[in-house]
A and B are shown apart, each in its own frame.
Chain A
Amino acid sequence: MTAKEAKAQIRPNRHAALGLSDGDLLEMYYYIALARALDERMWVLQRAGRAMFVISGPGHEGCQVAAMWVMDKKKDWFVPFYRSVAACLVKGMTPSDLLLGLLAKAVDPSSGGRQMPGHYGHPGVKILSTSSPVGTQYPHAVGIAYAAKVRKTGEVTMVSIGEGGTSQGDWHEALNFAGVHKCPVLCVVENNFYAISVPLKLQMAVDSVAIRGAGYGMPGVSADGSDVLECYRVAKEAYDRAQRGLGPTLIEYRVPRLGSHSSDDQQERYRSKEEIEEVRRRDPLVTFGTYLEEAGLLTPDRRKSIAERVKREINEATDYAEKMPLPDPASAARYVYWEGD
């Protein structure tokens, strides 16, 4: 065996077994990088006083990209929560779309500037409009899935929430209903161990959200949010179940929360420096990048070109969004009720 062959033998290739091509992986990496860059740009804009508020999901990108990768981007439904930056990008929203929302511009697809940033929605790519009361979106997703079942459309729905939201009554009611009626829905929980400042052990009496699946008649699985391929694997299994009419799956992704809750929060006040450092090591951008490097896919050139592409796209999106006008107050009273469109 040559040295090359030997090297090839130890090169990790978990993704092939999962049905993912090299191209898939590079694209997934691109999305993670894009999401991160967008995230960082949003924070910069907020700290620079150009945006009022920002809430995002650094650290969540890996599991979101992985889970969304299993979905049919055009046909299926997604019900996000406020950290779903990466997931929305994969589903089909663009960086411009998100920045228009951040800057509350008139052509913001989520809400026309009517909602705070982070309240994603886009009818064109079948992302349901979301609100601030945490947990309300879960019954919505179950309803969408039920409709798909009854109408026999074949659509699968994914809904996402933080672990704090799983304490809400709505979350439990939704899972209960989904379990009873075997709704084709992926119930994703992105557990980053903090609900703003409240740590997991004060949020629930169990160590993992996944155990609750049994209570609602569905499998509950847990995956390391830093292991993108594992995240993909569990999502794929859940998707297959849903497609085969076996109903919902509860997926817990344990992810590192790299930043504060939002621009109104400062995590240094309740998280130690050591902990924040430790968590950074589990950054999926880093861990997935490492896997791709080891798999020989992410060469320095590719890394650089991806970085440049991402930078360019974010810059273009920022320029575009900043130029767009703010909403006209004359439009503020519209669409309380259906207006006949």
Chain B
Amino acid sequence: MPEIRYIDAINQAHHEEMARDERVLVMGEDVGRKGGVFGATMGLHEKFGADRVIDTPLAESSIAGVAIGMAANGLLPIAEFQFADFIHPAFNQIVSEAARMRYRSNNAFGCPVVFRTPYGGSHGTALYHSQSIEAFYAHVPGLKVIAPYTPYDAKGMLKTAIRDPDPVLFLEHKRMYRLVRGEVPEGEYTVPIGPAVVRRPGTDLSLFAYGWMLHEALVAAEQLASEGIDVEVVDLRTLKPLDTETILQSVTKTNRALIVYEDNRFCGYGAEVAALIAEEAFGDLDAPVMRLAAPDVPGIPFSKPLEEWFFIDQEKIATAIRKLAAI
């Protein structure tokens, strides 16, 4: 089975879905001629033409708004936002319009749009090329939010998202684009939106994460294994709707839960998972539910020592695991 990078998986999903269904198109800044600033949409413009691969004006709200209109009239748009940090002007369109279209019209209209955007911190990305946004958007009923980790999942879940009659926000961690590789089969396949997956079974402690944090967590787990702490690492994959069953099953088994997310800690996505566990698995807890998240400062500072202070890496995760295991 060929091994490809995360970015290639996303690119392949585009190619396949656009070939499969002529209603699918992609729009965003630089997606056409350039193939995307990261290369996610490479090759599409040549193959499918300017009508279906649209280099939009630099105007995020209309990237979302026009996509919503297209979706109302028979197209299946993929709307790319060059960085998640720049999606905020489209917040109104995504949250007030896309997420609510079906509910407010009593099912008269839906909104089959995929909003795609690279998120998360990498070296030197600083305050405005590194934000995590899942907390804002997972909050809204009517929207689905996914953050796959493996190339296999990225391709399979993006395909599912494109075919989904409801709006899906696809969060691609930019650090994984070229760093994460994985096997992806050559034939047609999809991965469902919804189920989480246990990446590493364990017995002593459950660790829940997604995106790049999952990558760091798996490394930390191996280190802890040699110290005699057996960590179960769960890849959430879909942030909304949340796979409560897998989460609770894991905590029932290990009795300890640690949620790792790279966003600011306060009111971050992990708080919801923590609340869920505390409410539904209270009787199985042998220790408080813990979160490991970034400091509550308005963004990742640029200079290297500041950046390192902010980032969550495998060492910080390992420390948090040890601390929870010792309670």
Q: Which residues of A contact B (CB under 8 A)?
A: 77, 79, 108-112, 114-115, 119, 121-123, 128-129, 131-133, 136, 138-148, 150-151, 153, 155, 169-170, 173-174, 176-177, 180-181, 334-339, 341
Contacts and interface: CB of A to CB of B under 8 A. Distances in A.
B104 A114 contact: yes
A124 to B, nearest CB: 9
Contacts of B141: 336
Given A139-B68, A143-B72, A151-B75, 15 more contacts: A114-B106, A121-B105, A129-B101, A132-B96, A133-B96, A139-B64, A139-B65, A139-B93, A142-B62, A143-B69, A143-B73, A334-B107, A335-B106, A338-B166, A341-B107
A123 B59 contact: no
A142 B107 contact: no
Contacts of B57: 173, 176-177, 180
Nearest to B141: A336
B108 A129 contact: yes
Given A123-B108, A146-B69, A131 B75 contact: no
13 contacts: A109-B108, A119-B104, A121-B105, A123-B105, A132-B96, A139-B62, A139-B64, A144-B70, A145-B69, A169-B89, A170-B93, A176-B59, A176-B62
Given A119-B104, A151-B75, A180-B57, A143 B70 contact: yes
Question: Quick one: which of B25, B64, B73, B93 has the most chain A CB within 10 A?
Answer: B73
Contacts of A335: 102-103, 106-107
A341 B105 CA distance: 14
A141 B72 CA distance: 9
B56 interface: yes
B71 A143 contact: yes
Most B CB contacts (10 A, CB to CB) among A79, A143, A145 go to A143
User: Which of the four size classes fits the interface of chain B?
Assistant: 35 or more
Interface string B82-115: 0000000100110011001111111111100000
B97 A150 contact: no
B69 A110 contact: no
A21 to B, nearest CB: 32
A275 B102 CA distance: 42
B107 A339 contact: yes
B129 interface: no
Contacts of B166: 337-338
Nearest to B51: A150
Contacts of B73: 77, 143-144, 147-148, 151, 155
A138 B110 CA distance: 18
B106 A111 contact: yes
Contacts of A115: 104
Given A144-B69, A169-B61, A337 B101 contact: no
A139 B96 CA distance: 14
A173 B61 contact: yes
Contact of B66 (A79, A143, A334, A337): A143
Nearest to B92: A133
B75 A136 contact: no
Contacts of A177: 56-57, 59, 62, 66
Interface of B: 25, 51-52, 54, 56-57, 59, 61-62, 64-75, 77, 89, 92-93, 96-97, 100-110, 141-142, 144, 164-166
A136 B92 contact: yes
A131 B104 CA distance: 8
Nearest to B65: A139
A114 B108 CA distance: 12
A140 B72 contact: yes
Question: Which of B56, B62, B64 is most buried by chain A, counting CB atoms within 10 A of its CB?
Answer: B62
Given A144-B72, A147-B73, A139 B104 contact: no
Contact of B97 (A77, A140, A169, A339): A140
B69 A147 contact: yes
B66 A121 contact: no
A252 to B, nearest CB: 21
Contacts of B52: 150
B66 A136 contact: no
Nearest to B79: A143
A259 to B, nearest CB: 26
A147 B54 CA distance: 12
> What 3 pairs across the A-B complex have the smallest Cβ distances?
A143-B69, A139-B65, A112-B106
Given A133-B92, A136-B92, A114 B69 contact: no
B326 to A, nearest CB: 42
Contacts of A136: 65, 92-93, 96-97
A141 B108 contact: no
Contacts of A79: 69
Contacts of B59: 169, 173, 176-177
Contact of A131 (B51, B64, B89, B96): B96
A118 to B, nearest CB: 13
A76 to B, nearest CB: 11
Nearest to A115: B104
Given A173-B57, A338-B165, A143 B65 contact: yes
Contacts of B96: 131-133, 136
